[in-house]
Amino acid sequence: MKRSPSTLGFVHRFISGKDRRLTLVLLHGTGGNEEDLIPLGSVLAPDASLLSPRGKVVENGLPRFFHRLAEGLFDVEDLKFRSRELADFVNDASATYGFEPKSVALVGYSNGANIAAGMILGEFLVPAAAMLFRPMVPFTPDNPPNLNGLRVFISSGNFDQMVPRGESERLARLLRDAGAKVTHNREDSSHGLTNEEARKASRWLLDSLTE
């Protein structure tokens, strides 16, 4: 386990895995930190390396990855800026820790899923795969990105009180229209994650990497 060199700019944890061909970038939700998604990452890919940064924005004492103007209303310019900043961090971390940027799979929950989608739609970082739990559409790009070959797993809760049902469906359409291969999973759950969807995402990731 390694902790953040200050030169990388984000407080984070890095755990080197047995399989150096895959690194999961774990992006927490509002109020989380670099510890929160480590258990999820271990379930999704037990042998992968894990890179888990803490969001730099603090809202009412709670860490986030970007500013918002109100509940469900994003500060789009800040989101784009911080999406690029986070992508730069991942690239810098790849040099520090010795993994290939093309071996990265983004794993985001809620606020973390939204900035992961921001990195992808802005083409600041196009990973090998992405798993987005409870995402919304971060922004609609002016020019459609080229996401041919990107595999994305979106997981939504049918009773999610924070993410309107149409949001995840709209994100799935945006990604598909840009060429991504999207699997949209729905759970009879609320905003919280379930053990079953984590297992589904793990199976999906394994299948995606072996195709």
Section 121-139 average pLDDT: 96
Q: Is 184 noted as a catalytic residue in this protein?
A: no
Predicted TM-score (pTM) of this structure: 0.95
Out of 49, 83, 94, 110, the active site residue is 110
Section 48-75 average pLDDT: 94
Q: How many Cα atoms sit within 13 Å of 149 on the Cβ side?
A: 6
Q: Is 78 noted as a catalytic residue in this protein?
A: no
Write down the mean pLDDT value for the chain: 93
Q: Give the model's confidence band at 70: pLDDT under 50 very low, under 70 low, under 90 confident, else very high.
A: confident
Q: How far is it, in rounded angstroms, from Cα 57 to Cα 10?
A: 11
Question: Tens digit of pLDDT for each residue in 143-195?
Answer: 889 999 999 999 999 999 999 989 999 999 999 999 999 999 999 999 999 99
Out of 4, 52, 94, 160, the active site residue is 160
Out of 184, 191, 202, 208, the active site residue is 191
Could you tell me if 22 and 63 are in contact, meaning their C-beta atoms sit under 8 angstroms apart?
no
Q: How far is it, in rounded angstroms, from Cα 33 to Cα 26?
A: 10
User: How would you classify residue 195: left for phi > 0, otherwise alpha for psi between -120 and 50, otherwise beta?
Assistant: alpha
Q: Is 110 noted as a catalytic residue in this protein?
A: yes
Q: Give the model's confidence band at 1: pLDDT under 50 very low, under 70 low, under 90 confident, else very high.
A: very low
Domains in the chain, start-ordered, CATH in brackets? 2-210 (3.40.50.1820)
